[in-house]
Amino acid sequence: MNDRGIYYPIWGICLGLEVMASWPYEPRIDPKSVTRGTNPKMMTLNFTESARSSKIFGAMPEKLYRDMQTIAMAANFHKYGVAIKTYQQSEAFQELFTVTSTNHDDNGMEYIATMEARNYPFYAFQWHPEKVHFMDTLVPAKDLKQPHEAFAMHRYMSDFLISEARKNNNSFLSNVERERFLFERFETQYEFHNSIKKVSFANLETPQFESQNITQAAMNQSDLFKTHTNV
């Protein structure tokens, strides 16, 4: 879509980064490794030489940029990661992505903490910039110290994502089509087996996507984005 001129950003967090790290390989492989002592843990970021010229960290205020290197505000909730040596050994990986920050697990393995695509609006985090505002509701994170500087980081990341999303002009053809994609439209069944929560997607209907740009006049029609409760 990006190659066709449709700006389509992708924002991958934790498992999202691990999945995106498989994209450069053909045939597709799973490049992640086991990490130690990173679940849960607040950590600083080790920025690479490419960080300050990257899209996501390039515009970050200088103080916040320094704080992220000295104050543990990156929330890590993962047992896997993509080793930096995996990145360094793959020409295709280096061609698609730029690593902007790394970290080390308790065994000393250096892994990718943040990366972004060189020529596409794709951004990936092994850590969680979004967890700041609900850390106290996460049982594994209840004892983690949340520095006040983390809220400035969260705001910066949120604003950056919003600015990227607004560059996409895709719209639904009608309110009817839009309703088919509402989150509340999809049903999931939760089953508990041997104390492990599983999600069944047996009843999940995946509609066909139809999209095109619509005019501002159409967007201004009040019935186009009218809220319906019977979804």
Q: Which of 142, 165, 188 is the last residue of a domain?
A: 165
First to last CA, the chain: 29
Strand runs labelled E in the chain: 10-13, 33-34, 41-43, 46-47, 74-76, 80-81, 97-104, 110-117, 122-125, 189-193, 196-200
Domain match, 124 and 24 both: yes
Give the Cα separation of 49 and 57 in Å (integer).
11
Query: CA of 77: how far to CAs of 15, 66, 135, 215, 217, in Å?
Result: 10, 23, 12, 43, 45
**75 token code pair:** 């929330």
Q: What pLDDT, on the 0 to 100 scale, is given for residue 227?
A: 38
Domain match, 211 and 110 both: no
The answer as to whether 195 is a domain residue is yes
Give the Cα separation of 122 and 54 in Å (integer).
12
Domain match, 93 and 58 both: yes
The answer as to whether 209 is a domain residue is yes
Q: Domain residues for 80?
A: 10-165
Domain count along the chain: 2
CATH of the domain at 47: 3.40.50.880
Domain match, 156 and 65 both: yes
Give the Cα separation of 35 and 15 in Å (integer).
13
The answer as to whether 225 is a domain residue is no
Over residues 72-96, the pLDDT tens digits come to: 999 999 999 999 999 999 999 999 9
pTM recorded for the entire structure: 0.77
Domain match, 128 and 188 both: no
Environment class of 171 (CB within 10 Å of its CB; exposed 0-12, middle 13-18, buried 19+): middle
CB 56 within 8 A of CB 114: yes
Radius of gyration of the chain (CA): 20
Domain match, 22 and 119 both: yes
Low-confidence ranges of the chain (pLDDT < 50): 189, 191-201, 203-231
Domain match, 88 and 181 both: no
C-beta contacts of 150-156 below 8 A and 24+ residues apart: 150/71, 150/73, 152/64, 152/67, 153/64, 153/67, 153/68, 153/73, 153/129, 154/129, 154/130, 156/60, 156/61, 156/64
CB 100 within 8 A of CB 57: yes
Q: Which of 127, 146, 165 is the last residue of a domain?
A: 165
Give the Cα separation of 172 and 212 in Å (integer).
7
The answer as to whether 5 is a domain residue is no
Half-sphere exposure of 32 (CA within 13 A, CB side): 20
